Amino acid sequence: MALGLLDRGYRVTLMTDRDSDAIVRGRVMSSQCVFGEALQIEQTLGSHCWTDTCPPVEGIGLAVPHPEQPGRKAIDWAARLDRNAMSVDQRIKMSVWLNEAQSRGAEVVLREAGVVELESLAASHDLVLVSAGKGSVVDLFPRDADRTLFNKPQRALALTYLHGLTPAADFSRVAFNIIPGVGECFIFPALTLSGPCHILMFEGIPGGPMDCFNDVSSPSEHLERSLVLLKNYLPWEHARCARAQLTDEHATLSGRFTPGVRQPVATLPSGRHVLGMADALVLNDPVTGQGANSAIKCCEIYLDAILRSGDAPFSADWMLKTFERYWDYARYVVQWTNSMLMPPPAHILKVFAAAGEHPSLASSIANAFDDPRDFFPWFLDASESERFIASHSDVRRMGA
């Protein structure tokens, strides 16, 4: 957002609690995978591009272990994306962007933002945007009970950046493994500080066998426990990890948070207003890989609204309307992600299984990760899912 505003002649102050060196030296922050549409937005905004160094994510694969035959798969398919995705370690991306913003003229203030800081910024600037994903500053935005489904974390998360994994056969992909009643596991290529790597992500149902990282005392123990989980539940993924090693001493992360939606405008003690954006307002579990994508699309919508406003003031009403433009997109991401956190209904498992028989169906599912609105209405409606399967069955018959 700062880069987009700077390039269009706005004066920008960027407040952050870490400089670029601290970001690079810090722990991994996420398991981001940015799909084609969001990548295009980044490039349009003129931000740094890692196309020449980041390994591409060329597709999506889905596997579900067989409930009665250990080591075998009940569902197993993979499909290419129409446009490659890309995962760049946020330590690289944020440090480069921070330096680039400063070089383009932003005033960078190294300070943790609280109410006092927001009051000062709101008094001296036409608009204040809060993009923090967590922390006390986010609590200034009231919870939106009507748009929030959960009141506690739905997954225990464990993340590892690894060198030495065997690449997926045929083409690179997000290897998406669903273990009903246990959780999910993802593996996909990425770029980190030490070069190309793979990201391993566990999403364990709280209290279940994948919820086992709370007492981990070191990165090496985190890796060891991760490999045990793969061996026990996903032996085909464990086989890729014979030479796995951590990319660096800060390559692991674990924790949990409650997904939810917040009201977009915070009113400060002075009566001035600030506008939240991205994860500050709409925080999704990473089970669908939409966090970075949604943040980028939020940035595009907000930037367009700012440019269209001209010299008009950024009132609370303008802030509400701007967020609602984003919500018109984000609500589909929230619905899809929330549904993926619940036990999969029979009609979804049927669609996933049918995708193994119909390549066009598998392709439609894979490419909907680029625009989750394409999961609707079939994802939430059994009769629509039957029509969805039938439409791709007809494609196969016509091709024959």
Compute φ and ψ for 362, nearest 5 degrees.
-60, -40
Name the percent of the chain in helix, strand, coil, to the closest 5: 40, 20, 35
Q: Taking the model in full, what pTM does it have?
A: 0.95
Question: Which residues make up the CATH 3.50.50.60 domain(s) of the chain?
Answer: 2-28+90-149+260-340
- What pLDDT, on a 0 to 100 scale, did the predictor assign at position 393? 83
Q: Residue ranges of the chain with pLDDT lower than 70?
A: 394-400
> Quick one: DSSP state of residue 136?
G
- 100's enclosing H/E stretch is helix 90-103
Per the structure block, which two tokens stand in for 332?
């589909």
- What pLDDT, on a 0 to 100 scale, did the predictor assign at position 394? 60
- CATH number listed for the domain at residues 57-87+155-255: 3.30.9.40
What is the C-alpha to C-alpha distance for residues 200 and 210, in angstroms, rounded to an integer?
13
Query: Are the C-beta atoms of residues 175 and 237 closer than 8 Å to each other?
Result: yes
What is the C-alpha to C-alpha distance for residues 150 and 258, in angstroms, rounded to an integer?
7
Name the β-bridge partners of 261.
282
156-163/273-276 β-pairing:
unpaired
pLDDT digits (tens, 9 = 90+) for 37-75: 999 999 888 777 798 999 999 999 999 999 999 999 999
What is the C-alpha to C-alpha distance for residues 143 and 123, in angstroms, rounded to an integer?
25
Burial of residue 353 (CB within 10 Å: 0-12, 13-18, 19+) is middle
Question: Which residues make up the CATH 3.30.9.40 domain(s) of the chain?
Answer: 57-87+155-255
- What pLDDT, on a 0 to 100 scale, did the predictor assign at position 28? 97
Q: Which residues contact 69 (CB under 8 A, 6 or more apart)?
A: none
- What pLDDT, on a 0 to 100 scale, did the predictor assign at position 45? 86
Q: Which CATH superfamily is domain 2-28+90-149+260-340 in?
A: FAD/NAD(P)-binding domain (3.50.50.60)
